Amino acid sequence: MSERRAYLYKGIGETVGVVTLDGRPERLVAQWEGDDPLDAEGVRGVARVKTIERAFNAAFVALPGGADLLLALKPDMPKLVEGQVVEVEIRSPSRRDKSAVARYVGPAEGEPRVLAHAPTIDELLRLWVKSGSPTQGLAALEAVEAAEAEALATVFALPGGGDVSIEATRALVAVDVDLGGRDGDSKRAARAANMAAFATTARVLRLKGLAGLVVFDLVGRGHDGPALTTAARNAFAVDNPGVGIGPISKFGALEMIVPRRAKPILDRLLNESGGLSARAGARRLVRAFEREGRAAPGGKLAGRCGPAVAEAFAALDAALADTIGRRFTLAVAADWPNDRLEVASS
């Protein structure tokens, strides 16, 4: 039977939650100081219709103080006009290149206003893992750093051999199943690898916060369509409602739709060039200072990082000093990338 555990890390400028599934990270959610509280799944309120895009069968609406939300126009909805107020709920938060998506709840009156905020990370963890309170402290930090490392990976080993590569593009998430050195009859080995790939991919997509169109390039030929479709449906059952699975094509590809609900964690961890973001690097630097500070309670701490990380670190400097004391210095290395950090004590 599968076992899920929850971890809650409250650090300087960040609150991070992790859920593990049988010891492997399954979910990673974060709130950073300065986040837009209205850009999250579950926010509900009265929004004003700003523009209607008939060509796209959609409208843009906005909550007071929030960014524009995309609202799909459906046949069972009343006809909307610009300036009208409607009650909406955010179904999926914004992504790096996409607006947040809202669903129509019903007509509304009065001024635009927020009716309900999104669940906190603690509340989300208790929703996903119903047994006991989330683990905190050093164990939670270790779980966060392990989850971040896995979220940044692309290739994941499959139990029994082989691996799966998971890469997101603008249009879809591509999943390539590789047999590797899996032993046994080739057809049976291919079937086992494909079955394992669904379970691993479902976990990793939740971890990364990826969804939408997902295409599996299955290994082998002559696939047992009903068996593999059932395996896929079981692996993604916790992502319902909204999961849709298509038939296996003659080219050995299986397409499915997974509903978008979470902001991709890679939008936080990576910059537009695919490297570690400056804000993520600054939080790693803070954690390193805290870790070294615990190891050397009376020592002076010296850190070093690139210029972008140093700029992002400035917003966390005062809070770090309040936590460990003003016993640290930071030097800037002009040619260091965001993921190169050093902290030492003396």
CATH code of residue 215: 3.40.630
Q: What is the pLDDT of residue 131?
A: 82
Q: What is the pLDDT of residue 179?
A: 87
Q: What is the pLDDT of residue 261?
A: 86
User: Is residue 235 packed enough to be buried (19+ CB in 10 Å), middle (13-18) or exposed (0-12)?
Assistant: buried
Q: Are residues 158 and 241 in the same domain?
A: yes
Q: What is the pLDDT of residue 182?
A: 62
Pairing state between β 58-62 and 113-116: unpaired
Beta bridge partners of 100: 69
In a domain, 263, yes or no: no
Q: What is the pLDDT of residue 269?
A: 96
Q: What is the pLDDT of residue 118?
A: 94
In a domain, 111, yes or no: yes
In a domain, 267, yes or no: no
Q: Are residues 64 and 192 in the same domain?
A: no
Residues contacting 124, CB < 8 A, separation 6+: 17, 29
Q: Are residues 29 and 126 in the same domain?
A: yes
Beta bridge partners of 53: 58
Q: What is the pLDDT of residue 54?
A: 86
Q: Are residues 67 and 17 in the same domain?
A: no
Query: What range does the domain containing 292 cover?
Result: 276-345
The total of structural domains in the chain comes to: 4
Q: Are residues 142 and 128 in the same domain?
A: yes
Q: What is the pLDDT of residue 184?
A: 57
Q: Are residues 11 and 69 in the same domain?
A: no
Strand order in the sheet with 328-332: 328-332, 301-305, 342-345
Residue 300 CB neighbour total at 10 angstroms: 12
Residue ranges, the chain, pLDDT below 50: none
Q: Are residues 132 and 174 in the same domain?
A: no
Structure tokens at 79: 């006809």
